Amino acid sequence: MGKRSRNRKPKHVPPELIQAFSEAVPNGEFRRYSASATPAGIPVGGRTCNAVVLAASTVSSSAVLGLPSGQAPAGPVFLWRGFRQSTGASPGRKVDDAIYYISQDGSGWSIHSKASPDHHRNIMSSSGLAGFLNDYSLPAASAGTLAQYREAGGSLSFETPFSPFGTS
């Protein structure tokens, strides 16, 4: 019997959601928002979400291993990253990642990093978002280029109350 994929299919999203990402963050850049100041139409991340980082890039290949060609990105790819405080006994932080994009037929799709880890990683690797794969820092700057994200990164303290370094 063959190995079963641990990746769920991408979820359909309305084109208006992709348009909201296009208006919120230019290609090749990132934006940091407090959860209460997230642009209209962009997911907030629930009650426990404290900050949202958006980033945009283009995919270098329309083929993504494991995804049907009709569900592969064609154009901009948007990373949504939500930062929230852990609800457990430890004061740790949690980071949720999802990718939003349009396929060749114009359909909107999303892939969550936990629901489809391989697809998520493959899309990030084939775009300018590869540097975000293992970098879960919250940038100190509220905006900048993807290259500046790491330079402007701020380490989250796991012992002090969460602060998204001011609000945007």
Is 2 part of any domain?
no
Is 21 part of any domain?
yes
Sorted by sequence, the CB contacts under 8 Å of residue 120 that are 6+ apart come out as 97, 99, 111, 112, 113
**48 three-class SS:** coil
Strand partners, 51: 34, 83
Is 22 part of any domain?
yes
Under the banding of pLDDT at 50, 70 and 90, the label for residue 149 is confident
Please give the residue range of the domain that contains residue 62.
11-154
Contact 99, 77 (CB under 8 A): yes
Using one digit for the tens of pLDDT, what is the confidence trace for 70-104? 777 888 899 999 888 766 655 556 788 899 988 88
Contact 125, 134 (CB under 8 A): no
Is 165 part of any domain?
no
Contact 33, 51 (CB under 8 A): yes
Is 164 part of any domain?
no
Is 83 part of any domain?
yes
Q: Considering its fold, how many domains does the chain have in total?
A: 1
Is 72 part of any domain?
yes
Using one digit for the tens of pLDDT, what is the confidence trace for 14-72? 999 999 999 999 999 999 998 889 999 999 888 888 889 999 988 766 666 667 677 77
Is 27 part of any domain?
yes
